Amino acid sequence: MSVRALATHLHAIILRDLRALRREVEAYPDDAALWALPAGIANSCGTLVLHLAGNLRLYVGHVIGGVPYERDRPHEFAARDLPRAELLHELNATIEAVDRALPLLTDDVLAREFPPPIGPVRVNTQEFLLHCAVHLGYHLGQVDYHRRITTGITMTVATVAPTELSSARPSA
């Protein structure tokens, strides 16, 4: 697989998972449930949405795509009781930024070191973008379980639908 093909697949998977995250937020029965913290759960759905939006808007939208954005990571973990509409606004802005940025990837960009250091290390851009996709999937799963635990609603929202992959074709 070419590096460019990998970028195309990453684009599809990250957008798929962000759309699924939006569906998860929409599936909560009310705004309060988005912020519930049952025993043993460190982060609410609202916190995870803000964290994922901040992460992807900075690293993909801003660094890769040049979309203006200033991250406030402490706010992502300190905010409480924001309305669902605000979380959905953040997700929609994230989807737009990612959708604008990822088509700009070239083999050369993917082969380079990611421009800013990530904490105490420097990493390859391709590997870091894979990390971002896995990080999104990890927290998406947490949100799915958070919704089920806090609401008692076990229905699925087609969280990781293969039909949304870039290579999906009818099987018949």
Strand partners, 121: 118
Question: H-type helices in 72-160, by residue range?
Answer: 73-78, 84-101, 107-111, 125-151
Residue-wise over 108-124: b if at least 16 C-beta within 10 A, else e?
Answer: ebbeeebeeeeeeeeee
Q: What is the pLDDT of residues 122-159, one digit of tens each?
A: 999 999 999 999 999 999 999 999 999 999 998 899 88
Model-wide pTM > 0.85: yes
d(CA 148, CA 49): 16
Asked if 86 and 22 touch (Cβ cutoff 8 Å), the reply is: no
Length of the chain (residues): 172
Q: Is residue 18 within a helix (H) or strand (E), and if so which, with residue range?
A: helix 3-27
Mean pLDDT of 109-129: 95
Domain architecture of the chain: domains with CATH = 3-163 (1.20.120.450)
Q: What is the pLDDT of residues 8-44, one digit of tens each?
A: 999 999 999 999 999 999 999 999 999 999 999 999 9
Mean pLDDT of 62-86: 97
